[in-house]
Structure 1
């Protein structure tokens, strides 16, 4: 115990380094950087690009062709009921109209929960045969009215 007290009295070598002044300096520099940084950021000049009219969004979104697969296997397009065979000429007509307007027709397929999957697959095959590639599947399930 006596040896430890001699080192504290200042007669021996000091084995500890006092870092308190170093920490004080670091904290002062940190405060200076924190205070001066917002002034540097506010003085930054930016050359923002201007928007071209060709990059502006189109005035109207493309028209969607919505096809509903009914529980009885028929298809509903624009309020009219079609079979798969009678749907082909109507889709060819829609395809010609949409290509004249905007290029490619956009088709969204919705179905009732009771509709057979095979009817949806048959419709997808028909759309592929007609080379209609922009197809979406609606994820909400329709239920028949009154049931």
Structure 2
């Protein structure tokens, strides 16, 4: 604290008193420490004990690829575009939860990719992921 006496000259006091600032910061810190546990609205539940189970093994998705020349591949096996639908229907009949990944070269004609996508839709496959590269 700065005290002045009558003997001192009238100089300007250029020191900053940080005591009130520290007091306010400590009060805010205590307030945050007290309120943060209150913000957690989780309900405490005692879960029942059961036998451990193995998670279901994820099935590998089928990959349909179209290269730059317009050739269609079903899991690295080349197929004509006309027979893609029949092959996919057979795979879908064997596994109704079939997941399909579609990848195509960026230089391929859009018409070829559209034909493959139409064959996928007619085969009844609903789980389709189009594979791309991130920019």
TM-score, normalisation: structure 2: 0.60
Aligned length: 108
Greater helix share, 1 or 2?
A: 1
Contact 2:98 2:127 in 1 (8 A): yes
Question: Which residue number in structure 1 is paired with residue 78 of structure 2?
Answer: 81
The Cα offsets for residues 19-41 of structure 1, whole Å up to 9 and x where unpaired, read as: xxxxx8xx58x749818955x94
The match for 2:126 among 109, 133, 136 is 133
Cα displacement (A) at 1:82: 0.4
What is the correspondence of 1:39-118 to structure 2 with a 5 Å cutoff?
41=37, 47-48=44-45, 50=47, 58-99=55-96, 104-118=97-111
Q: RMSD of the TM alignment (CA)?
A: 3.9
> CA separation of 1:41/1:140 partners in 2, compared to 1, >3 Å: closer, same or farther?
closer
* 5+ long unaligned stretches in structure 1: 1-23, 142-147
**Following superposition, which runs of at least 4 residues in structure 1 exceed 6 angstroms of deviation?**
none
TM-score, normalisation: structure 1: 0.56
Alpha-carbon separation, structure 2, partners of 1:58 and 1:123: 33
